[in-house]
Amino acid sequence: MGEGNHFYLPAFTSFTPSADSMRAMPLRVAYFPDSFHEVNGVAHTSRNFVAFAQRHGLPFLCVRAGRRANAFEQEGELRTLELGRSGLAVSLEQDLHFDTLFFRYRDLISQTVRDFQPDVIHITGPSELGIFGAYFAWKLGIPLAASWHTNVHEYAARRMRWLTRHMGNAGKSLDHATETATLDATSRFYRLAKVLYAPNPELCALLERKTDRPCYLMQRGVETDLFTPAKRTRGEDGEIVLGYVGRLSVEKNVALLPRVDAELRARGVAAKWLIIGHGSEEAVLRRELPESTTFAGVLRGDTLAEAYANMDLLVFPSHTDTFGNVVLEALASGVPAIVTPDGGPAHIVRDGQTGRVATDAAFAGVIAETLTQPEQFAAMRTAAREYAMGCSWDAVFERVYAAYPTSR
């Protein structure tokens, strides 16, 4: 890439040129995440960001939507303001909402931010929280940082495809127009920030091109003491367990899972499926996957870690994920992953070493090939765990701090 690109920071290393200065005179960061308590990548990253700040005694304010109404708490240098959404909040997915009445908190948020006196405001997208964060950054003359976590333009196009799938070329044109318009609108919003973050180099390149702002990597870490092969409780039972973890929604391409199962059975490979998550496509999957499939719903903590460890392969067919937390969690559990060439997961999986990267048409074939090569499969499991052991949350967020714009 050219000399002007900013996103080639080494992935998952402890190289932090400003780590000492961060501790000596830490920046005061006000963080406005799109989601925090939900089950998705933004929420998972946000919870770990707050934990990082608390662990290192950094002055940090987190303004978020949640279950409690207007709850302000302070513990050491960490401050949190949790605001309840109204009953008129629009549901975007089972655990994602947008509250059109959130403006009622304007004065409360304003006073909280002014009292905290941040050096930088960090938002994660064009949600009601992101809009407020951008507004107060402008109003108070505070530098704004924005991280991109969700390919909303691709999500919008795939949701539109549900309506246009029978329209032929006209439908494809409408899908493309929807994706282009959504990307342009979102890019204009991100242009309000002085510095951007994204979870993979391709997205950073796209954002720099669309916004003319510098973009840095903000990858994700994994808790290797929680997600570990030691949580496996299955013996050598001779069964094959294929797992999926994530939202059961159109943009995750979960419709591929029944096709993969049918192709595997045609090849003489009978696998059991473990599906973890919830979403609008659950009813379809229950109907089209074998009766032996286990639908576990949303799992957390040790229960989720045990579920990962008891899989043989993670099958993750998404083309839209910007990173793929679940892929990294699977690798930490000693479970190789099968992913598509598109988006963040392909930057995590080392093809042939920690898993496989395959097109939709090739998924069943590479799964069958992997399972019928026991020595290579065993080596993959070991390599997956070794790779994940080098992925630290502290390194991720220290690099974020190193790139923050400030007015100091």
The answer to whether 133 touches 118, Cβ cutoff 8 Å, is: no
338: β partners: 315, 356
Query: How is the chain split into domains, by residue range?
Result: 19-221+392-403, 229-389
Q: Which tokens belong to 113?
A: 């931010």
**pLDDT at residue 102, as a whole number:** 85
CA distance 145 to 196: 6
Tens digit of each residue's pLDDT (9 = 90 or more) over 373-390: 999 999 999 999 999 998
**pLDDT at residue 5, as a whole number:** 52
Question: Which sign does the torsion angle of CA 376, 378, 380, 382 carry?
Answer: negative
CA distance readout (Å), 152 to 126, 148, 173, 393: 10, 10, 18, 25
91: β partners: 97
More confident residue, 125 or 172: 125
Supply the mean pLDDT for the chain: 86
Tens digit of each residue's pLDDT (9 = 90 or more) over 10-20: 344 333 434 55
Q: Is the pLDDT of residue 393 over 70?
A: yes
CA distance 408 to 403: 14
Identical fold for domains 19-221+392-403 and 229-389, yes or no, is: yes
Tens digit of each residue's pLDDT (9 = 90 or more) over 294-320: 999 999 999 999 999 999 999 999 998
Please state the rounded mean pLDDT for residues 110-130.
95
Q: Is the pLDDT of residue 91 over 80?
A: no
Nearest to 41 by CA among 297, 229, 218, 181: 218
pTM for the whole structure: 0.72
Please state the rounded mean pLDDT for residues 347-373.
95
More confident residue, 390 or 330: 330
Please state the rounded mean pLDDT for residues 114-133.
94
Strands 195-198 and 144-147: parallel
CA distance readout (Å), 374 to 177, 339, 368: 46, 20, 11
Q: Is the pLDDT of residue 202 over 90?
A: no
SS (H, E, C) 22-91: HHHCCCCEEEECCCCCCCCHHHHHHHHHHHHHHHCCCCEEEEEEECCCCEEEEECCEEEEEEECCCCCEE
Tens digit of each residue's pLDDT (9 = 90 or more) over 131-175: 999 999 999 999 999 998 775 544 444 555 555 555 666 656 665
Tens digit of each residue's pLDDT (9 = 90 or more) over 251-267: 899 999 999 999 999 99
The answer to whether 339 touches 346, Cβ cutoff 8 Å, is: yes
More confident residue, 54 or 167: 54
User: Where does the pLDDT of residue 3 fall: very low under 50, low under 70, confident under 90, or very high at 90 and above?
Assistant: very low
Is 19-221+392-403 in CATH node 3.40.50.2000? yes
More confident residue, 25 or 27: 27
Pick the CATH number of 229-389 from 3.40.50.2000, 3.40.120.10, 3.40.630.10, 3.40.190.10: 3.40.50.2000
**pLDDT at residue 378, as a whole number:** 95
**pLDDT at residue 344, as a whole number:** 83
Centroid of chain to Cα 243: 18
**pLDDT at residue 159, as a whole number:** 54
CA distance 278 to 249: 8
**pLDDT at residue 39, as a whole number:** 78
CA distance 54 to 46: 12
**pLDDT at residue 4, as a whole number:** 47
Tens digit of each residue's pLDDT (9 = 90 or more) over 222-236: 999 999 999 999 988
The answer to whether 223 touches 256, Cβ cutoff 8 Å, is: no
Would residue 297 be called left, alpha or beta, if left means φ above 0 and alpha means ψ between -120 and 50 degrees? left
User: Where does the pLDDT of residue 1 fall: very low under 50, low under 70, confident under 90, or very high at 90 and above?
Assistant: very low
**pLDDT at residue 238, as a whole number:** 85
Straight-line distance from the first to the last Cα atom of the chain, in angstroms, rounded to the nearest whole number? 31
CA distance 310 to 293: 14
Please state the rounded mean pLDDT for residues 42-66.
94
**pLDDT at residue 264, as a whole number:** 97
Task: Please compute, for residue 101, the number of CA atoms within 13 A of its CA located in the half-sphere on the CB side.
Answer: 8
CA distance 65 to 85: 7
Please report, rounded to a whole number, the percentage of residues in the chain having pLDDT higher than 90: 64
Q: Which tokens belong to 347?
A: 């930057």
Q: Is the pLDDT of residue 338 over 80?
A: yes
Would residue 70 be called left, alpha or beta, if left means φ above 0 and alpha means ψ between -120 and 50 degrees? left
User: Where does the pLDDT of residue 90 fall: very low under 50, low under 70, confident under 90, or very high at 90 and above?
Assistant: low
**pLDDT at residue 236, as a whole number:** 80
Q: Which helix (H) or strand (E) holds 259?
A: helix 256-266
Please state the rounded mean pLDDT for residues 339-355.
93
**pLDDT at residue 153, as a whole number:** 43
